[in-house]
Amino acid sequence: MKKLLLASVLTSFLLGCSTTSPRPNLDQFSEYSGGLSMGDATSFYWYTEKLTKPNTAADYVSAGDYGWYKSDYRWDENQLREFIREGQQLSFSDNGLVPYRIHVRFNKEGDAIYQQYRLNGKVLPLQREQLQRYQQESLAIIDTTKQQNRDGVELIQGYWDGSEFETCSGREFNKFEFNQTLPSFVINRLASIDSYVAFLGRQSNRKLEVTELLMLADDDHDCIERTSLLD
């Protein structure tokens, strides 16, 4: 696909950039964020370490017509001990999306000692393979966010008005640069329509560099906050 430029606003180029690890605060917590876009699914990830060990993580996954979910995870002594997931999934029998919620607690050996799965108001059992998949998904959040941190990128969300980008945390940037080839309709939209944008990228001073676009929506789209379901 032909590479297009929005002169003086959107430029496409490749930068070499050294990576730095998140700086721990006084309580020795390190924060990471990231995401993936694969097919119809777009994933946002957040991960927190305490003294280099897993502490908490969260995700938000949108799969278009197939539904969405958000999860909250908690570790203790390197072992996933609890998670909650809620969302909606496609049900062919109900001809649409139906709500579901999963809550699981594990012992220190990794065995489920409490589990609850509600699908469209019905209580159902969880199979061992499902529990193993959820554990693997929690580890994938760690691997993905830490690798993306080593690559020098993080999850960034905000709003673009054609001349300035304001992040969901309130920072403003007047330089918004891409180093990936974008379809022409995306370029045209960013040039003419106020938009919510989520991407993997780098921020420095007054400049944002986009390495991978994750989500593009109307400017009335809310920022997606880190999932918080566990007390």
> Alpha-carbon distance 231 to 172, whole Å?
33
Please give the single-letter amino acid code of residue 90. L
Predicted TM-score of the model (pTM): 0.85
Res 94: pLDDT: 81
List the beta strands (DSSP E) in 11-163.
29-38, 41-50, 53-62, 67-76, 79-91, 96-106, 112-119, 122-124, 154-160
> CB neighbours (10 Å) of residue 211?
19
The string of pLDDT tens digits covering residues 14-59 is 333 333 455 555 569 999 999 999 988 999 999 999 999 999 999 9
Matching residue, tokens 């690798």: 147
In the chain, which stretches have pLDDT less than 50?
Answer: 1-20
Res 205: pLDDT: 79
Of 197, 227, 222, residue with least CA distance to 212: 197
Coil, strand or helix at 53: strand
CB 70 within 8 A of CB 57: no
Res 6: pLDDT: 37
Beta bridge partners of 202: 209
CB 189 within 8 A of CB 220: no
Res 4: pLDDT: 36
